[in-house]
Amino acid sequence: MKHNAEQPQPAQQPGAVDPPAPAPEGALVELPEEAVARLEGEFAELKDKYLRLAAEYDNFRKRTAKERAEVWARAQTDVVQRLVDALDDLARFAHVDRAQVDAQTIHDGVELVERKLWKELEALGVTRVDQVGVPFDPNLHEAVTTQPADDPAKDHTVGVVLQSGYRLGGVLIRPARVVVLTWQGEAA
- pLDDT at residue 23 above 80? no
- pLDDT at residue 154 above 70? yes
Sign of CA dihedral 138, 142, 147, 150: negative
Domain ranges of the chain: 33-124, 126-188
CATH number of 126-188: 2.30.22.10
130 by Cβ neighbours in 10 Å (0-12 / 13-18 / 19+) ranks as middle
155 by Cβ neighbours in 10 Å (0-12 / 13-18 / 19+) ranks as middle
Contact 117, 83 (CB under 8 A): yes
State the pLDDT at residue 21.
62
pLDDT, one tens digit per residue, over 29-79 is: 889 999 999 999 999 999 999 999 999 999 999 999 999 999 999 999 998
Q: 135 forms bridges with which residues in the sheet?
A: 157
